[in-house]
Structure 1
């Protein structure tokens, strides 16, 4: 049986995704969770606190995969392939994350510190530093051209996320609004993006 707090978080996630922070109302979240507003306030006294929990939860599944990929054995190319596959899979299972985040970053920029707190662990583990070392190894071997770790990371993430953010456009223009065809396109991106990134940095 799902406890009250879990029901609240699931309801809040649904309402925040649909209406954003500004449009969401605590009463609406309580109704969605099937509880009264007093019980909702018992667990979360303010909408800000509830939003903080939901917002950080949306990210916490993303950063462990980054850490896992870049701390295991393997070449840079193997890490890129593993990261792209894992990252796109996470977004497939949580397709609301990109639009949810973009919406809130555009409308509630003051909430950026929440995002920074969510990625603190990644910073503590110096993942970009580890990526830089992998890049340097391949540069010294003469297999790739020099590239900043920040640029490589941004290229991977942006190419992975864009098809989800632009789903209505891609689905309508390229796939005649066919959901199955779009989903197959996303599945193919798991290899296409990795190959594109690797070929772009190879000498």
Structure 2
């Protein structure tokens, strides 16, 4: 019985690994369940036994990726680091995650429009993002005159927007900059520095 459970888990993980690669290469619309089954080395019937639809499989993969990512950025924003250090680590973690999972940006955007409450519950559970703690930290620094006046949520929106937009608009960005996939990813690595500098320059005195 234990062996069967182990085999089941192994088969499911093979499907998830294969599906993630296929989704990365072809996108949701271009991915085929048969391609995923072939990549995982299983038959299509077994694939459908584990995951009834391509959409459900896609959701499972990227919900798991989001659940890995969110605790990391939460830990950063709740840490005792200085605000500028938090900005640097937040941006670095955010862009690194999107480099590793380029489709995560589109998945979150689509799910936010489709059912935002359900998405947030799946990612955060009964907790909420620590925006209030960010507000407190930023407000203290503004009051001390250490940074320019800004709301904590505005700072968060600025950082997230600068990190996520190139991935959402990847085809357009590549067309405008005449870059291939490898060159685009190199640009994104560089953005870890440029975004941090841009954000810090916008608030420091």
What band does the TM-score fall into relative to the shorter chain? 0.7 to 0.9
130-139 or 180-189, larger mean C-alpha shift: 180-189
Compared CA separation, residues 60 and 34, structure 1 to 2 (3 A): same
Map of 2:93 onto structure 1: 86
User: What displacement does 1:45 show?
Assistant: 4.4
Map of 1:67 onto structure 2: 74
User: What displacement does 1:16 show?
Assistant: 4.8
Compared CA separation, residues 45 and 188, structure 1 to 2 (3 A): closer
User: What displacement does 1:33 show?
Assistant: 2.3
Tell me the secondary structure at the aligned position of residue 119 of structure 1.
helix
Compared CA separation, residues 138 and 193, structure 1 to 2 (3 A): same
Q: Distance in 1 between matches of 2:114 and 2:165?
A: 24
Q: Deviations over 1:155-183 (max 9, x none)?
A: 10110112223333333433x32556544
Confirm whether residue 20 of structure 1 aligns to residue 41 of structure 2. no
161-170 or 82-91, larger mean C-alpha shift: 161-170
Q: Distance in 1 between matches of 2:34 and 2:183?
A: 39
Map of 1:189 onto structure 2: 191
Map of 1:115 onto structure 2: 119
82-91 or 145-154, larger mean C-alpha shift: 145-154
- Match for residue 176 of structure 2 among 162, 170, 173: 173
Q: Distance in 2 between matches of 1:15 and 1:185?
A: 23
- Match for residue 132 of structure 1 among 117, 130, 135: 135
Q: Deviations over 1:80-118 (max 9, x none)?
A: 11111121111122222223444x449xx4454442123
Q: Distance in 2 between matches of 1:201 and 1:143?
A: 9
82-91 or 140-149, larger mean C-alpha shift: 140-149
RMSD: 3.0
Tell me the secondary structure at the aligned position of residue 42 of structure 2.
coil
Q: Distance in 1 between matches of 2:85 and 2:23?
A: 37
- Match for residue 202 of structure 2 among 192, 200, 203: 200
Map of 2:156 onto structure 1: 153
How many corresponding residue pairs?
A: 197
Map of 2:3 onto structure 1: none
